[in-house]
Amino acid sequence: MAEIGYQTAPLQGWAGMLAEAAAETNPELQWPQSNIVYDRMRREDPQVMSVLRAVTLPIQETEWQLDDSGVRPEVAQHVADDLGLAIKGQPRKAPLRTKGRFSWDEFLRLALLELVFGHSVFEQVYSIDAFGRAHLSKLAWRPPRTIESFDVAADGGLVSVRQHGVAFGPSVGRSNFINAIAGVRIPVDRLVVYVNEREGANWIGVSLLRAAYKMWLLKDRTLRVQALAAERNGLGLPVYTSAPPPDNASYEQKKQWLDDEIARGLAIAKGARAGDAAGASLPHGATFRFEGVTGKVPDLDKQIRYYDEQIARAVLANFLNLGGDNSTGSYALGDTFANFFTNSLNALARHIATTTQQHVIEDLVDANWGPNEPAPRLVPPKIGAEHPATAEAIRALLDSGAVRWDPALEAHLRGLYGLPVRVDTTPEPTPEPAADPDSTEEPEEAA
């Protein structure tokens, strides 16, 4: 029943790590140097930032829920309270306090950083309440720059993650003392690791920006050339032409006169400024003018637009380049691009949901009720539904008998239209007062 083959040998040293990291041949993008490069890309380039936000914001903005089908209410409510999520078809219970507690929005934002760095690592932190129940206090993010190595088993499974040792500054009152923390090893049972496009034992993953790196690098160089060209030629070059020397002067006198004129003309050219009090005094026969660029200047804007298009194409976000002054393509084509893009977002949401289900929700249920207890299922949001449920369409389906009205359908439609969850307002029957056994009065007969 055991495995015979293997996915990787035990990783030893940098050579093994780089061999598992998809055989990256670019030294700039070999881990951990890649963390610095990808961080620069997302912080410095507007197109890269726009592309990343187009991918992450729809997933962060939509409502994530829990499906409690076949789950005991106590278990489903415990998980919903710890994660801060709503249960499908039920009103969401707001927590009494949010400070210092797990935040789903903040966790999801950090989990999606796997798209930038290829991986995003969290450590599970629990607390025990007065009744002996384990609660998820937080998923502590471990930044990629702090990770030293991934320990991987022969079958490709993760064993642990090691972090670099750190050193702090001098302590209070002890200027020569430095606090130091040795490297930390976090075992896999405490970890939640999100990896983009993991293959085999490559827990480093592949950044979403890897295919856009070449275009980003060429665009960065082109922008520098464009800025230099504008700086050198944008305002024109001041040129001073001196007057001819006197005819009756000797050779030495003419040479000295021309040298003085060149020096004086250079000072005039360097000091030329526009303004109300600006001006220049020239001798008879001298000229002063601003000369622009002659000849054909290369159109760098076209190259920059091409690089932006390729960066967007790397994540199927071609529609981001439509609608500009120099854009090409129709809006109908943009709708086609958007459909492919939303499909990729739904696949990404399912990937996040699968990892969270296995290593957060089920771990939380196992810690409290054991591995045989059914766990609620995390339902990712549906982005860009192909057939929106309009009121007319719903009525036609009901009238034709294609669907039947039931509480589950009502709960779904209320959530789809942003309506509040239905609350049963039927008043409870008022109990009749009990008869006094010591009373001698006979009950009145009904009319």
User: Is 90 exceeded by the pLDDT of residue 71?
Assistant: yes
User: Is 60 exceeded by the pLDDT of residue 334?
Assistant: no
Greatest mean pLDDT range, 113-122, 200-209, 289-298 = 113-122
User: Tens digit of pLDDT for each residue in 243-258?
Assistant: 888 888 888 888 888 8
Instruction: Report pLDDT for 12.
Output: 47
Percent of the chain at pLDDT > 70 equals: 77
User: Tens digit of pLDDT for each residue in 151-210?
Assistant: 988 888 899 999 988 766 555 455 554 555 667 899 999 999 999 989 888 899 999 999
Overall average pLDDT of the 95-116 stretch: 86
Instruction: Report pLDDT for 447.
Output: 45
User: Tens digit of pLDDT for each residue in 182-191?
Assistant: 678 999 999 9
- Tell me the two tokens of residue 364: 């939380």
User: Is 60 exceeded by the pLDDT of residue 10?
Assistant: no
CA-to-CA dists, residue 97 to 110, 134, 264, angstroms: 22, 18, 75
Q: Is the dihedral of CA 161, 166, 171, 176 positive or negative?
A: positive
The pair phi, psi for residue 335, each rounded to 5°, is -65, -40
Instruction: Report pLDDT for 165.
Output: 81
Overall average pLDDT of the 217-233 stretch: 84
Instruction: Report pLDDT for 217.
Output: 92
Greatest mean pLDDT range, 78-82, 380-384, 432-436 = 78-82
Instruction: Report pLDDT for 110.
Output: 96
Pairing of strands 287-291, 237-241: antiparallel
Is pLDDT larger for residue 384 or for residue 440? 384
Greatest mean pLDDT range, 65-74, 158-167, 271-280, 339-348 = 65-74
- Given a contact cutoff of 8 angstroms between Cβ atoms, the answer to whether 142 and 148 are in contact is no
Q: If pLDDT is split at 50, 70 and 90, which confidence band does 120 have?
A: very high
User: Is 70 exceeded by the pLDDT of residue 321?
Assistant: no
- Given a contact cutoff of 8 angstroms between Cβ atoms, the answer to whether 365 and 79 are in contact is yes
Please tell me the distance from the alpha carbon of residue 215 to that of residue 92, in angstroms, as a whole number: 45
User: Is 70 exceeded by the pLDDT of residue 344?
Assistant: yes
Is pLDDT larger for residue 298 or for residue 362? 362
- Average pLDDT, rounded, for the chain: 81
Overall average pLDDT of the 4-18 stretch: 59
DSSP calls for 373-414: S--PEEE----S-SS---HHHHHHHHHHTSS---HHHHHHHH
Please tell me the distance from the alpha carbon of residue 190 to that of residue 373, in angstroms, as a whole number: 20
The mean-pLDDT minimum among 94-103, 120-129, 340-349 falls in 94-103
**Comparing C-alpha atoms, which of 147, 156, 202 is closest to residue 9?**
156
Q: If pLDDT is split at 50, 70 and 90, which confidence band does 352 have?
A: very high
Overall average pLDDT of the 410-428 stretch: 72
Overall average pLDDT of the 363-386 stretch: 89
User: Is 90 exceeded by the pLDDT of residue 434?
Assistant: no
